[in-house]
Structure 1
């Protein structure tokens, strides 16, 4: 299994997570759970790989997995493309790191 993670800093992280999941849900299985006073969590299954998303403390945390490098690259590309477009006013940046995040 190949994996990568990223942290995208934004005070609107929860809003972006919900927007991403709602958008993806038109074409793929995507779910989210909004909880008051707690983290907002989401999951998207692209078929070629998945991404778990968490909005916490002014950041959108992404954890992606795929069975091969090609699938992981495609999942990362789709997520980054949408995040940059949705957050263009904030000039959001996605800095991918290989592997799973520490403590996961």
Structure 2
């Protein structure tokens, strides 16, 4: 069984933030991306990213329910730093 949560961030720089996030994590863990899509593979789960217009959609998936909040925190903390001027609201919805 897997556990999933999704957050949508509204920003004019959705593609830029997707690429920054993937490049940042690529120094330490596997990350692949295009300007529109990205995947970051953590030891405790996977983050899939999609940029469409002014929307950055981030979906985290884990095998353990206990790892889901950790994934949310790790993934959300970085766009909050990159987008400090936008001050994005990142609200997770569990699926």
TM-score normalised according to structure 1 size: 0.87
Segments of 5+ residues of structure 2 without an aligned counterpart are none
2:84 pairs with 84, 88, 91, which one? 88
| Deviation >3 Å, runs of 4+ | none
1:60 pairs with 56, 59, 62, which one? 56
**2: CA distance, partners of 1:77 / 1:70:** 12
**1: CA distance, partners of 2:79 / 2:66:** 20
Look up the match of 1:76.
72
**2: CA distance, partners of 1:95 / 1:84:** 12
What SS class does the counterpart of residue 78 from structure 2 fall into?
Answer: helix
What SS class does the counterpart of residue 85 from structure 2 fall into?
Answer: helix
Segments of 5+ residues of structure 1 without an aligned counterpart are 35-39, 100-104
**2: CA distance, partners of 1:85 / 1:41:** 20
Supply the RMSD in Å over aligned alpha carbons: 0.7
Look up the match of 1:41.
37
Indicate yes or no: 2:26 matched with 1:25.
yes
Please report how far the alpha carbon of residue 72 of structure 1 lies from its aligned counterpart in structure 2 after TM superposition: 1.5
TM-score normalised according to structure 2 size: 0.95
Please report how far the alpha carbon of residue 42 of structure 1 lies from its aligned counterpart in structure 2 after TM superposition: 0.2
Look up the match of 1:8.
9
The number of residues matched between the two structures is 94
Which deviates more from structure 2 when the two are superposed, residues 10-19 or residues 25-34? 25-34
